[in-house]
Structure 1
């Protein structure tokens, strides 16, 4: 399936007398950018920015993980303590410090450049994820060059940039896009070493380049998400050793020096946090987070097979081609390139399916292997001609379903049909239809490129237009806007019945999360204080206010929808008389 010796020459998929169509023009563009690595990298960079930037600056903080990460970073910047990790007074030791350092660097840089209120702009905290996603696309291209031609490597990188799952993670201030960058870097470097060994290249003094990339990426991955990156590399090595009955190539990784370098990079912070928190960090991160995922953590339990079902959405638009490539991949499983990619993919996928806790982003570091395998099948024109070809309709059906959900959601939540998104929706449907109707085995590349354009149009429609307009989904943003318009200086808030992390991020670290009675007591303690009372907590607030003789006034009322809890909410903003 994937060549490691002589690479097949990719024939020109355009036939001389074929009528001009969008697919032909897109293939012509690939002809141009394939001329050099510089053009290819520039092209992929532009594509990634076009796909990832819609909505990046305008979508408010997303509860709950993104808001928790951002708030913990905000407190790190406020306190100038870059060792401890906290959400308000609670420690947050589930993940190591890597992503918080990157987000802190982004906030400090934005502040130094004069960006007003940089600490309150969620997009600043998303910058590491954006850079991680772009870097992962470029490193997928680099890794793919070890297996396929430059043209196929571009296709593999395009599949990653257009994938639904990476598009989501690029817009969230979390660890997963950066983790993907470290994993694909490590696995790409290890692939170069393994394939050179398979080709019989005698290297008495192997270069340091690939081992340096591998071990640096391993250290960065550990600082981002603990030992998870070791699972991807370790299971790959074990699978290859079993198949080859030989693991002597591992010495080319320079493991002794590499382990020392990794320890130099990761140990300082682990020692510092152990000195600060003792065993609490390791108990929370290993016992409280990692081992708990063996069970159904935080109601995210699901049976085996869920990731396979989600794959058809999360890896769209590459998923239909991946299905058509599967038979050819199986036939080529003994070829060194395919063997390596399957060792990267299959063992870790089985582990994720076996673990009860399931979240879509867990399998994201395995998608580059699928993209490269699929691109190799496209390059060699060995895609299945069986019933799997019917999956080409999926290129059209996803834009259809996505558009319907987006428009119906906008109408239900805002009573507006999101007309500004309709031109992009129409373009997504047209290009999705081209991808489906124009598909055949010899022109799979043309259909994929049409599907990538459909994905780009969907990104503009959903992330750029629809989501930012769904203000009822983001009550924290509305509350923060109301508090910024008060006349007193430095308002403080207490919230009863609505305890989402985004509220703390947007209204201040000192925001008190309490119940109705606690909010009444808070309101009585001074001026320029506001109580944010969700409707279900109003009765206890009123009763306590009467008991302590609190005189209050009702300001704005904000109606919205708490998607974390899946229910409608109504929040009233109270202030004591004389506050303003």
Structure 2
């Protein structure tokens, strides 16, 4: 392909990657949480103590909060801006893999690896959703690639930024991989190359200032962050996210669906082939294995946790495609993906039985996989890889765009938008026995919680004066407020309205919430 063709392809990819960030609202839980915290940073001017709906929130470090707050200040407080850091680090990750592949194995490997990553559904999806995992993945993989290439100061800096992204796994995972590699290869001389003393100083210069500042400002931070959110989160089931040890295997299979057969060949090659001196194939294979083993052993599991596996796996697959005659494997992969796409299209009404409006989008995603797989059949290796990547990328984008049809099921935004006018700044707003973070985000303001704690339970214990624990307290606050609005869960609204017997008018109604105002 000519340079002009490559530039055109990159431009189209960038348009598709960034152009859809605002087509659906931020959903409850993670997306709204990680938008609301930086919104409150901008509103309060306090960039040291993260707050969520007005309460201290110490579960994660602040790097993504800071970058998102910068986007809010530079542009506007909107859904697309909240997703921008995730999108930028995900898009940059493609170039990181491209560059690492070219340096470690040669240009063909870099190009194939970038295509593999761009066509991996889980990677594409998490590059479009506002969570912390893509930023973490970018810096973790930057650290691993820097180490493999011998750039030790970049390695330490990337570890520090990974730590500021999601905590101590920013150093645990890279050092676990390095230790395992040295143990297998008996290459203890690597420790001398790591520049441990100056590297540690650089790490602390980048990562330590915020931890020191937030600890000085908040006595609760150290125990909560390091003991509860790291040690207890890993060793117990405190968050109710316990799953069997094999939990991530089907997620990995679905998340890398266009490359399952090449992945098997690449994994076998990484463990079989022996190299004198530093062995990048073994190192990358161990990196992916350490990530999988670490989170499989954890008492808290979510699908996005294994995202840091994907860049090294993409490089292993890219190397395998570039070094071997992969035609037979790719032909079999095309057939497998076509069958999977057809199954998705046929089973969509069953898979999304509760969400009829989403079924056509799943059907379209499945048919797109079929079309691209058939088109890739018996093409040259570069053309086949490109079409498989297009299949994975396109199907994921179709599924994501279609998810906007479910906005009212997963976000308060459509119900808030149905209000005749937003609540005035002086009005009191309550969430009664039900809440998710899309409420505060959609209103662009904090609300008073009544009887509902969920993940804010410990923070409420630190600042109990901000919480209304029982309905009689809400009744008094409602009666005293000159102007007031309240959110109720739609399923509980009639019961609570009868129990409270307060003057209220329905202002907006949706599948999740009913919004009332004081007449």
Question: What is the TM-score normalised by the length of structure 2?
Answer: 0.86
Deviation at 1:513, TM superposition (A): 2.3
Residues 499 and 237 of structure 1, relative CA distance in 2, 3 Å threshold: same
Q: How many Å separate the matches in 2 of 1:53 and 1:405?
A: 30
C-alpha RMSD of the superposition: 2.9
Partner residue in 1 for 2:291: 348
Query: Which residue of 510, 514, 517 corresponds with 1:572?
Result: 514
Q: Contact 2:125 / 2:396 at 8 angstroms: preserved in 1?
A: no
SS of the residue 2:510 aligns to: strand
Alignment coverage as a number of residue pairs: 496
Deviation at 1:355, TM superposition (A): 2.1
Deviation at 1:147, TM superposition (A): 2.5
Deviation at 1:103, TM superposition (A): 0.9
Matched, 1:529 2:484: yes
Matched, 1:284 2:224: yes
More moved, 362-371 vs 480-489: 480-489
Deviation at 1:128, TM superposition (A): 0.8
Residues 339 and 572 of structure 1, relative CA distance in 2, 3 Å threshold: closer
Residues 490 and 474 of structure 1, relative CA distance in 2, 3 Å threshold: farther
Q: Contact 2:345 / 2:367 at 8 angstroms: preserved in 1?
A: no
Q: Contact 1:159 / 1:452 at 8 angstroms: preserved in 2?
A: yes
SS of the residue 2:124 aligns to: helix
Residues 312 and 239 of structure 1, relative CA distance in 2, 3 Å threshold: same
Within-5 A mapping of 1:464-475: 464=401, 466-475=402-411
Q: Contact 2:291 / 2:308 at 8 angstroms: preserved in 1?
A: no
Residues 234 and 519 of structure 1, relative CA distance in 2, 3 Å threshold: same
Within-5 A mapping of 1:156-305: 156-193=113-150, 210-278=151-219, 280-291=220-231, 292-305=233-246
Q: How many Å separate the matches in 2 of 1:322 and 1:445?
A: 17
Within-5 A mapping of 1:423-572: 426-435=367-376, 437-438=377-378, 443-464=380-401, 466-483=402-419, 485=421, 491-515=427-451, 517=472, 519-534=474-489, 535-545=491-501, 550-559=502-511, 569=512, 571-572=513-514
Q: How many Å separate the matches in 2 of 1:39 and 1:285?
A: 49
Q: How many Å separate the matches in 1 of 2:146 and 2:486?
A: 55
Deviation at 1:84, TM superposition (A): 0.3
Deviation at 1:404, TM superposition (A): 5.3
Within-5 A mapping of 1:15-414: 31-33=1-3, 42=7, 45-46=10-11, 48-53=13-18, 55-110=20-75, 118-119=76-77, 121-193=78-150, 210-278=151-219, 280-291=220-231, 292-334=233-275, 336-381=279-324, 383=326, 390-403=332-345, 412-413=354-355
Deviation at 1:492, TM superposition (A): 3.9
Q: How many Å separate the matches in 2 of 1:373 and 1:416?
A: 35
SS of the residue 2:25 aligns to: coil
Deviation by residue 1:248-305 (Cα, 9 ceiling, x = unmatched):
2333332221111111112211111111013x22222222222222223422211222
User: Which residues of structure 1 form unaligned runs of 5+?
Assistant: 1-30, 111-117, 194-209, 560-568
Q: How many Å separate the matches in 1 of 2:54 and 2:317?
A: 48
Q: How many Å separate the matches in 2 of 1:312 and 1:416?
A: 23
Deviation at 1:461, TM superposition (A): 2.0
More moved, 409-418 vs 219-228: 409-418
Q: Contact 1:132 / 1:177 at 8 angstroms: preserved in 2?
A: yes
Q: Contact 1:407 / 1:417 at 8 angstroms: preserved in 2?
A: yes
User: Which residues of structure 2 form unaligned runs of 5+?
Assistant: 452-470
Q: How many Å separate the matches in 2 of 1:169 and 1:305?
A: 21
Deviation at 1:130, TM superposition (A): 0.8
Deviation by residue 1:12-41 (Cα, 9 ceiling, x = unmatched):
xxxxxxxxxxxxxxxxxxx435xxxx986x
Deviation by residue 1:383-419 (Cα, 9 ceiling, x = unmatched):
5969x97554332244335545667778853658658
Deviation at 1:523, TM superposition (A): 3.1
Deviation by residue 1:214-268 (Cα, 9 ceiling, x = unmatched):
1211111111112212122212221222233232233333222111111111221
Question: What is the TM-score normalised by the length of structure 1?
Answer: 0.78
Deviation at 1:127, TM superposition (A): 0.8
Q: Contact 1:48 / 1:161 at 8 angstroms: preserved in 2?
A: no
SS of the residue 1:533 aligns to: strand
SS of the residue 2:492 aligns to: helix
Deviation by residue 1:62-85 (Cα, 9 ceiling, x = unmatched):
221221121111111110000001
Q: How many Å separate the matches in 2 of 1:484 and 1:349?
A: 49
Q: How many Å separate the matches in 2 of 1:375 and 1:342?
A: 13
Q: How many Å separate the matches in 2 of 1:108 and 1:371?
A: 35
